[in-house]
């Protein structure tokens, strides 16, 4: 099913549900098109502007409106317009510095809002490299603050904290900047799970005089405070706070904050098991994020809807939404790659123009040299000698540099070969150990089968034949008793050759008990769901053991490498499907799939290949990981 068809189905479902509950929940608003608060008069003034100075002021005014309404794509376009127009101004004018770096700040902000975090970091660094940090302190502070907030959004907390601490001495230089910096510290403490410090920082920022003029920032602080104090308030108090912030944000045109408030309102309903209200709220938010092309918000709403359908035990919809979540993640990666390609094309064209200029200058220089040579015949020998000598010196320098480089390459190659040999040796040892364990397991299964089917069957047949004989002597009775004892011992030995836990418990409780080992009693981060549980518990023991090994491999890798706040594993056995589906998702640091050669990933692929299954991995640095595994039931 394509993304567009899935969206239409989702919107139709939302309309039906909201029509059924119109009387109870009438305060949700879905926008059929992009919200736009830019007055058409401003566009007319921009079109009729006859100087670069006038044009750039109108561009800045429009960009501020798009920042306010969180229309990130439009903000990015106008950020680029501002920078190009600023380049037409004289670099000595104060307006040039102001608008050029304001355009860079808008560009980084827009890329952050669309989830292109690596590009946002590159934009801020580009601005800081070209900026004179001694004379343009305020511009430098805001670009560094944007860089710290981007690292914070990427969950790279140490980098973010280092920059924020560097900016602390600048807090007193500007009242507005101090407000944003204090809020950023609150965001850092929030993401670092330092709740009390976060509340203190937000309350301090909210009390600053400049915050009263910055309504959007004030509403964002209040929204974060409401989320932090959610455990202290009653159900109605929590609901009232988020609804108030939602309505105020909507009235002010802060559509991004409006979506965040609706998401949190949906979570309040979900916690109270008001599933119908939660579905309406989250469906409204999802439609708006799709309309506005806010991919990061789409992922947040998508995850909230997955939690809702899991709570409702509607695992089929939960699985579909997880698939959609994977598609959105791929879209973000694709957009980032496309934008990088465009930037490389622009750099290539600029380089071509520079080469043409250099060729022209070289031609002019040759002409000048020829003229000078004709005028200075007496110096021809000396000039010729210098022309010969300089290339020789350059060739010697280049040759020496090549020797140095080749020596370094040889040394690195030796180190690489040594590391590869160590890796191969470790891999062979691991393969040998696993092969040994596999053979032992197969042999145990074979012996158990032979004991149960062959020897056990023979003993049962002997007992049956003795029962047919009319033997009533004490010796015959003793033989029957010994046969019963021997048969019981054979059964016990055959069953003892299987893993102990699979004899004492059903499959799903075994997995749940294993997953709980990774959870802190007060902070549950690892989740496992099986649907339908009864059917999965009836799977063949051999398949259960293999699935359990795969789940242990996934969980161990997540615990060692992912650094995730939440890990979700879903095992589905849909009756009409021929395959079992095992879905794994985390919000950790991710990895580059085409470069990862870890032992854990190789083990996972080997286990799945043995079951004749298939594996799909979607991950990239800073984006988390989604793994889909399909295994035949038979």
Residue carrying the six token digits 């560097």: 166
Using the predicted structure, report yes or no on whether residue 331 has a pLDDT greater than 50.
Answer: yes
Mean pLDDT value of segment 399-413: 87
504-632 has which fold? Heat Shock Protein 90 (3.30.565)
Check residue 19 and give its pLDDT: 38
Mean pLDDT value of segment 166-182: 88
- Which pLDDT tens digit goes with each residue over 585-612? 999 888 887 766 677 788 888 888 888 8
Run of H or E including 582: strand 579-586
CATH architecture, domain defined by 49-173? Alpha Horseshoe (1.25)
DSSP string, 94-135: HHHHHHHHHHHHHHHHHHHHTT-HHHHHHHHHHHHHHS-TTT
Using the predicted structure, report yes or no on whether residue 75 has a pLDDT greater than 50.
Answer: yes
Question: Shortest CA distance to 57 belongs to which of 116, 104, 98, 108?
Answer: 98
How far CA 161 is from CA of 178, 241, 263, in Å, comes to: 16, 30, 28
Check residue 163 and give its pLDDT: 92
Check residue 483 and give its pLDDT: 73
**CB distance 170 to 158 below 8 Å:** no
- The pLDDT > 70 percentage for the chain reads 79
Mapped onto helix, strand or coil, the DSSP state of residue 528 is strand
**Triad 527, 256, 43: Cα angle to 5°:** 150
Looking at 412-484, which runs of residues are DSSP E strands? none
Cα–Cα distance, 539 to 534 (Å, whole number): 9
Check residue 13 and give its pLDDT: 45
Reduced DSSP (H G I as helix, E B as strand, rest coil) percent helix, strand, coil of the chain, to 5? 75, 5, 20
- Which pLDDT tens digit goes with each residue over 563-583? 888 999 999 988 888 889 999
Cross-strand bridge partners of residue 529: 570
Per mean pLDDT, which range of 191-195, 277-281, 471-475 is the poorest?
Answer: 471-475
- Which pLDDT tens digit goes with each residue over 227-284? 888 777 777 887 888 888 888 888 887 877 888 888 888 888 878 788 887 788 788 7
User: How long, in residues, is the chain?
Assistant: 634
């Amino acid at each position: 099913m394509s993304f567009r068809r899935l969206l239409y189905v989702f919107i139709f479902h939302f309309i039906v549900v909201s029509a059924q509950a119109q009387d109870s929940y009438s305060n949700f608003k879905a926008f059929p098109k992009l919200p736009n608060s830019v007055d058409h008069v401003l566009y007319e003034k921009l079109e009729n502007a006859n100087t670069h100075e006038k044009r750039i002021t109108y561009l800045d005014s429009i960009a501020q409106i798009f920042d306010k309404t969180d229309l990130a794509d439009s903000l990015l376009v106008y950020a680029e317009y501002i920078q190009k127009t600023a380049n037409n101004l004289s670099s000595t004018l104060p307006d040039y510095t102001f608008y050029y770096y304001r355009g860079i700040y808008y560009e980084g902000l827009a890329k952050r809002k669309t989830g292109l975090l690596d590009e946002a970091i590159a934009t801020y660094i580009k601005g800081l490299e070209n900026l004179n940090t001694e004379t343009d302190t305020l511009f430098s502070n805001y670009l560094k603050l944007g860089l710290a907030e981007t690292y914070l959004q990427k969950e790279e907390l140490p980098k973010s904290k280092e920059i924020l601490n560097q900016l602390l001495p600048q807090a007193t230089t500007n009242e507005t900047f101090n407000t944003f910096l204090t809020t950023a510290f609150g965001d850092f403490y929030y993401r670092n799970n330092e709740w009390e410090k976060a509340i203190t920082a937000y309350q301090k920022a909210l009390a600053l005089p400049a915050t009263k003029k910055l309504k959007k920032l004030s509403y964002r602080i209040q929204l974060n405070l409401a989320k932090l104090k959610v455990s202290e308030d009653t159900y109605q108090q929590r609901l009232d706070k988020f609804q108030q912030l939602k309505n105020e944000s909507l009235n002010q045109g802060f559509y991004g904050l409006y979506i965040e408030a609706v998401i949190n309102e949906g979570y309040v309903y979900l916690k109270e098991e008001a599933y119908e209200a939660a579905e309406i709220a989250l469906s409204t938010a999802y439609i708006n994020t799709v309309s506005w092309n806010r991919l990061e918000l789409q992922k947040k709403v998508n995850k909230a809807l997955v939690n809702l359908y899991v709570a409702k035990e509607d695992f089929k919809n939960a699985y579909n939404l997880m698939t959609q979540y994977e598609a959105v993640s791929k879209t973000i990666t694709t957009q980032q790659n496309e934008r990088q390609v465009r930037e490389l094309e622009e750099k290539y064209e600029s380089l071509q123009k520079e080469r043409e200029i250099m060729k022209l200058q070289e031609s002019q220089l040759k002409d000048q040299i020829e003229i000078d040579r004709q005028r200075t015949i007496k110096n021809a020998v000396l000039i010729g000698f210098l022309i010969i000598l300089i290339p020789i010196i350059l060739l010697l320098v280049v040759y020496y540099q090549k020797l140095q480089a080749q020596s370094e390459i040889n040394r690195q190659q030796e180190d690489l070969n040594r590391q590869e040999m160590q890796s191969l040796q470790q891999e062979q040892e691991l393969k040998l150990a696993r092969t040994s364990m596999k053979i032992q397991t197969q042999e145990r299964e074979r012996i158990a089968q032979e004991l149960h089917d062959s020897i056990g069957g023979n003993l049962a047949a002997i007992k049956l034949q003795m029962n047919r004989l009319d033997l009533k002597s004490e010796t015959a009775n003793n033989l029957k008793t010994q046969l019963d004892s021997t048969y019981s011992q054979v059964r016990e030995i055959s069953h003892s050759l299987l893993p102990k836990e699979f004899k004492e418990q059903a499959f799903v409780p075994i997995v749940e008990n294993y997953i709980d080992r990774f959870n802190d009693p007060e902070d549950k981060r690892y989740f496992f769901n099986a649907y339908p549980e009864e059917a999965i518990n009836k799977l063949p023991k051999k398949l259960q053991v293999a699935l359990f090994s795969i789940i242990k491999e996934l969980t161990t890798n997540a615990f060692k490498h992912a650094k995730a706040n939440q890990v979700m594993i879903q095992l589905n056995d849909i009756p009409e499907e021929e395959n079992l589906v095992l879905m794994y998702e985390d919000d950790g640091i991710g990895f580059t799939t085409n470069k990862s050669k870890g032992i854990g990933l190789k083990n996972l692929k080997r286990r799945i290949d043995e079951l004749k299954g298939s594996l799909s991995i979607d991950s990239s640095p800073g984006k988390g990981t989604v793994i889909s595994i399909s295994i035949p039931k038979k």
